[in-house]
Amino acid sequence: MHHIEQIEKLLKDELSATETYLQALDKFKEDVGLGEAEHLIPIYEDHKDAVSSLQALTLRLGGTPAEDSGAWGAWAKIILGGASMLGKESVLRTLQEGEINGAEDYRRALEDTELLADIRALIETQLLPAQQGHINALERLLAVEA
């Protein structure tokens, strides 16, 4: 059960990320045409893939995967909504902060000595490298904004 709970926490993070990126994409599309939105679409797609991988892993372990992000996702939407009112740079910084927090959650999961090998492999080979790539991509977008 411990492993399913670990995966569920990571899954809720990823569900929150997909919801938050959808909101950011909508904001950028209405404000500036595609512009930054085209740079955010691959990140959104990576988070959708992570959701699928984590849901499949939960099912394989006999759990029932979460379908939404719950309270954490609602909080993320409120934060992004506030950032949206402050402009594009605030939205990008909020997204980057979320990516940094997600990477930290993956690193914490890897510290668990009882972590199942397939969960560890998924985090090390797919999820954490993608998260780092997202942080770097957002850093580049913020550098353009500065």
The answer to whether residue 120 scores a pLDDT higher than 90 is yes
Under the banding of pLDDT at 50, 70 and 90, the label for residue 6 is confident
Tell me what pLDDT residue 4 has: 84
| Calpha distance 32→40 (Å, rounded) | 13
Percent of the chain with pLDDT over 70: 81
Under the banding of pLDDT at 50, 70 and 90, the label for residue 56 is very high
Q: Specify the CATH number of the domain 2-145.
A: 1.20.1260.10
Question: Span 61-82, mean pLDDT?
Answer: 71
| Calpha distance 53→61 (Å, rounded) | 12
In sequence order, which residues have a C-beta less than 8 Å from that of residue 81 and are 6 or more positions away? 23
The answer to whether residue 33 scores a pLDDT higher than 70 is no
Tell me what pLDDT residue 23 has: 81
Query: What residue segments make up the domains of the chain, in order of their start?
Result: 2-145
